[in-house]
Amino acid sequence: MSGPKDLDPSSSPRALLGAELRHARERKGLSQAELGEPLFVSGSFIGQLETGTRRMQLEYAVQIDGILGTGGFFTRNCQALAKSKYPDHFAEAAEAEAAATGIREYAPTLIPGLLQTRAYAAAVFRAYKPTALEAEIDELVAARLERANLLRDPTTPLLWVILDEAVLRRTVGSGAVMAQALRHVVRLAGRRRIIAQVLPFGAGAHSSMTGALKLMEFRDAPPLSFVEGPDMGKLLDDPATVARHSLTFSLLLATALAPQDSLALLESVAQDYEHGEQRP
């Protein structure tokens, strides 16, 4: 029996690769858990590959070809699809984000990428890469703004963000940049496109003191969580870990300001920036 033909890159490559994985696995008579065992991953991880929720990494593609006898099909196509406009540590998370039906995010230090304005994103990238040429900064900003296109859909994904008050108080770019950026969040919330809340300094110690947290839910795949640090990030699918991170977000909600009070604070701080009254 001949093996599958290489994928047509004009289609949805990741979803097609996942569909081929499912067909090849079923032809071999393996369950998702049975295929995952020699790869040291869970059956749910295999399911996420099959639905296109997660990107297939080259190390797994090579092993899958060996297990399923697919003649290098997954290795070839994995290499062809590996290029991404996002940094290596974030590429898989960005792809999962685009497929999510729900995203919950706690942002301790800066406005989340999906909600950033052009000027705010440019200031962030200039801080990250102070010696980069403008062309590189422009490319990074364009990729970040392109991610936000998923918010053009009026309802999906449901995006629920909790901004630490530090996000509001740290001046990124300038007062004018901050006023515009905060009002952008207010406008999105006012259009009922997102839910935004602020975790005030007065809340004291909280459940996510160690850093940022993103949770993603999908229509046909188990939920994921994503944690990151400087030039690193990890997408997690272990059910116990994701459940613990979901509890962490719920605890943050319990101490955050109510949505209307949060929007009032965002607008107030934006006005302070406009009038030059905001102090870091």
The predicted structure's pLDDT at residue 38: 93
CATH code assigned to 88-274: 3.30.870
Residues 151-181 have pLDDT tens digits of: 999 889 999 999 999 999 999 999 999 999 9
Question: Where are the CATH 1.10.260.40 domain residues in the chain?
Answer: 13-80
CB-based contacts of 111, cutoff 8 Å, min separation 6: 120, 163, 167, 172, 181, 185
The predicted structure's pLDDT at residue 99: 86
Question: Where are the CATH 3.30.870 domain residues in the chain?
Answer: 88-274
Token pair in block for residue 152 = 């053009």
**pTM (two decimals):** 0.75
The predicted structure's pLDDT at residue 8: 42
pLDDT value at 106 more than 80: yes
Mean pLDDT of 92-96: 84
pLDDT value at 82 more than 80: no
Are residues 156 and 216 in contact, defined by beta-carbon separation less than 8 angstroms? Answer: no
Which CA distances in Å does 21 have to 62, 85, 125, 154?
13, 25, 37, 32
Rounded CA separation 18/26 (Å): 12
Name the residue with higher pLDDT: 57 or 35.
Answer: 35
Does CATH place domain 13-80 in 3.40.50.300?
no
Establish whether the linkage from the previous residue to 87 is cis, with ω within 30° of 0. Answer: no
